[in-house]
Amino acid sequence: MSKENTPIEELIEKLIDSRNNRTNHTIVSTLNAVIEYIETHLPKEREAIEEAYEEGYYDHFDEFNDDYYNDKYGK
């Protein structure tokens, strides 16, 4: 089974690619700060994924549950 990236991991890869193609030091510094910030939040993303999986497993959801998402994230 091949490893898939989460959307946040994909975003980090795109930012790194963008950073590597830049020469402006201000832009590179900004991208470095954004990448670092996002990377520090990867554990929180993992917790959210694990929690959603467990909710679905224990509640036996057959499809996405809008109530869970709305209650959890208020969106």
The pLDDT confidence band at residue 70, using thresholds 50, 70 and 90, is confident
Q: Greater confidence, 43 or 67?
A: 43
Question: 16 to each of 4, 8, 75, how far by Cα in Å?
Answer: 18, 12, 29
CA distance 57 to 20: 41
What is the tens place of the pLDDT at every residue in 35-52? 999 999 999 988 988 887
Tokens of 14: 């795109």
Q: What percent of the chain has pLDDT over 70?
A: 77
For residue 23, is pLDDT > 70?
Answer: yes
**Taking residues 26-32, what's their average pLDDT?**
95
**Separation CA 9–CA 22 (nearest Å):** 20
Q: Which amino acid, residue 51? A: E
Amino acid identity at 19:
R
